[in-house]
Structure 1
Amino acid sequence: MTDQQPPHTPRSLIVTFYGAYGRGSTGTPAGPVPIAALIRLLGSVGVDAPSVRSAVSRLKRRGLLVSGRTASGAAGYGLSDAARQLLEDGDRRIYGRPSARSGQGWLLAVFSVPEEERHKRHLLRSRLARLGFGTAAPGVWIAPAHVHDETRHTLERLGLSGYVDLFRGSHLGFEPTVESVARWWDLEALAKQHRAFLETHEPVLRRWSRRRPVPAEAAYRDYLLALDSWRRLPYADPGLPAALLPPDWPGGRASRVFAALHGRLRDAGEEFVAPVL
């Protein structure tokens, strides 16, 4: 049986598009993206117009997109301040892929939520899990210390900081840290996610390594799909110290494959995006 990656959803692909091309760069403007351009660009990765409009409406309700007008007066959607902060926090993980070193220590999140606000307890747990925290004990979550700034920004943005205390510390025992890490995180589940990414996108990299020149629309399509798959992984796996991981850990290889696809395809894909915008 092969590992399977989660399907690409219209909402996820739109967020991925804004992260890659919708914040402004040399070839693309920083203002609102016209809805017609979004429909054209998402159509290249198989999303139909009604699905684009529906996903944009949901992202607007969530406060991630805001409506506006382009320089030509066309209706469009840009990123909210909160969405920009979210994407900027994600850049370091997604593109930089930092890994902890054994001596850097750990970040502990200890929380307590009143019973009458238990919906916030569920939100807090899900957000800590999405930030890559493992569970050390009930109400005590742990992550490598380098995720501190992003954790703080996320909890403040969601209005959850009042329920949480954050600590930095070292693991002093009693069991070896490598055994504790295997208990705090489901390493086999994380490894399966890395292997699924490799199974889907390593063949794509091999094809592009042989291909000259780089067709802009094909580069854009393959890059957006790879980024949409990859950007979940540095959150599920927060970059644990290599010394605490199994010797055959596939995370490093998956990271190198994405970095190679990014270097090969991102700017080539912008040659397709810029004229559409």
Structure 2
Amino acid sequence: MITVAEQHTPRSLIVSFYGAYGRGPDDAPVPVAALIRLLAVVGVDAPSVRSSVSRLKRRGLLLARRTADGAAGYALSEEARRLLDDGDRRIYARTEPKLSEGWVLAVFSVPEAERHKRHLLRSRLGRLGFGTAAPGVWIAPARLYEETRNTLERLGLSAYVDLFRGDHLGYAATAGAVARWWDLPAIAALHEEFLAAHEPVLRAWRTGSGGSAEDAYRDYLYALDSWRRLPYADPVLPSELLPADWPGRRSAEVFTALHELLRDRGAQCVRGATGTGVS
């Protein structure tokens, strides 16, 4: 489970930056000097930026490219762009799930000789938002089927998994079963942590005590970096299956409001640092 201590690492902030501002229509690379300046705004020093960029480059997510004026820079690889585009569907989701949509089940069996793949499967299904219905049987809302299928194929794990779609027919009430399949108190705590950190920020901007384009950029990047993990830790279940005081809807509303208020204001700061037409 994700904790606050794991948030706002240099590498995570760089990924969040590229997700928010590094996907222009012309795929222009972000100059290294500008990236260092922009990450300094959120408290990341230059050596940490260079080290994190090197790791992302080794993973094939960033590509070294020259800018139009010949400066060193980094652009997203096709794989990184695809991962970010996939993430958008969760991070910026607006629709409420319906119980009638049903569930997707992942049933897997991995030979003992390849047990490292068993661990990878469990880890990846958990990161996709699956809960554990029984040993070797994982469950998630049916809308996650396509993303799950694509992820398992990309990781070479599809040979070990069968996927099914269907409804929960009992014997226990579905709301009670959901409380066994997922650690709802732990997920609720993540939403509460997000709200504690970012709801006051939203309140300040709404009351006019916000600030400059740089302030908007800083507040938005921190909010995005915190929020983008939550739609994976939380499968976003139908409201009738959740406790009446569930904080997930409120935290989603806070992030959406911050996105609408700050993302474009923050882009002014990015344009000033990079000299490019950030969209």
Q: What are the residue-to-residue correspondences of 1:176-215 with 2, within 5 Å?
A: 176-211=173-208, 214-215=211-212
**How far apart are residue 37 of structure 1 and its match?**
1.3
Which stretch shifts more, 211-220 or 122-131? Answer: 211-220
Aligned to 2:93: 96
Partners in 1 of 2:68 and 2:255 — Cα distance?
35
What SS is found at the alignment partner of 1:107? strand
Pair 1:33-2:30 in alignment: yes
| Paired position in structure 2 for 1:227 | 224
Contact 1:144 1:240 in 2 (8 A): yes
Matched, 1:73 2:39: no
Deviation track 1:32-58 (CA, whole Å, cap 9, x = no partner) reads: 211111111101000000000111111
Of the candidates 199, 213, 216, which is equivalent to residue 216 of structure 1? 213
**Conservation of the 8 A alpha-carbon contact between 1:205 and 1:261:** yes
Q: Which runs of 4+ in 1 moved over 3 A?
A: 3-7
Q: In the alignment, which residue of structure 1 is the partner of 2:253?
A: 256
Unpaired segments ≥5 residues, structure 1: none
Give the structure 2 partner of residue 123 of structure 1.
120
Among candidates 265, 269, 278, match of residue 268 of structure 1: 265
Note closer, same or farther for the CA distance 1:97–1:235 as it changes in structure 2 (3 Å cut): farther
Q: What is the CA deviation profile of residues 97-145 of structure 1, one whole-angstrom value per residue up to 9, with x for unaligned ones? A: 4432110000111112222222222111111111110001111110001
8 Å CA contact 2:217, 2:267 repeated in 1: yes
Distance 1:100 1:121 in 2: 30
- Aligned partners of 1:136 and 1:184 also within 8 Å: yes
Query: 2:277 — aligned with what?
Result: none
Deviation at 1:5, TM superposition (A): 5.9
Determine the structure 2 residue equivalent to 1:22: 22
Letter in 2 for 1:194: H
Alignment pair present for 1:170 and 2:132: no
Give the Cα separation in 2 of the matches to 1:81 and 1:159. Answer: 19
Pick closer, same or farther for the CA change 1:55–1:213 going to 2, 3 Å: closer
Please report how far the alpha carbon of residue 241 of structure 1 lies from its aligned counterpart in structure 2 after TM superposition: 0.6
Quote the residue 2:152 is aligned against: 155
Aligned pair in 2 of structure 1 residues 159, 97: CA closer, same or farther (>3 Å)?
Answer: farther
AA aligned opposite 1:221: R
TM-score, normalised by the number of residues in structure 1: 0.94
**TM score, norm. by length of structure 2:** 0.93
2:104·2:142 contact (CA, 8 Å) conserved in 1?
yes
CA contact (8 A) 2:104 2:164 kept: yes
- 1:11 maps to 11
**d(CA) in 2 for partners of 1:22 and 1:223?**
14
Number of residues of Structure 1 aligned to a counterpart in Structure 2: 272
Q: Which secondary structure does the structure 2 equivalent of 1:168 belong to?
A: strand
Amino acid corresponding to residue 24 of structure 1 in structure 2: G
In structure 2, the CA distance between the partners of 1:213 and 1:116, relative to structure 1 (3 Å rule), is: closer
- Across the aligned residues of Structure 1 and Structure 2, the Cα RMSD in angstroms comes to 1.5
**Gap regions ≥5 residues in structure 2:** 275-279
- Is residue 83 from structure 1 mapped to residue 80 from structure 2 by the alignment? yes
- Give the residue type in structure 2 aligned to 1:185: W
The 1-side partners of 2:255 and 2:85 are apart by 18
- Percent of aligned positions that are identical: 69
Deviation at 1:30, TM superposition (A): 2.3
SS at match of 1:87: helix
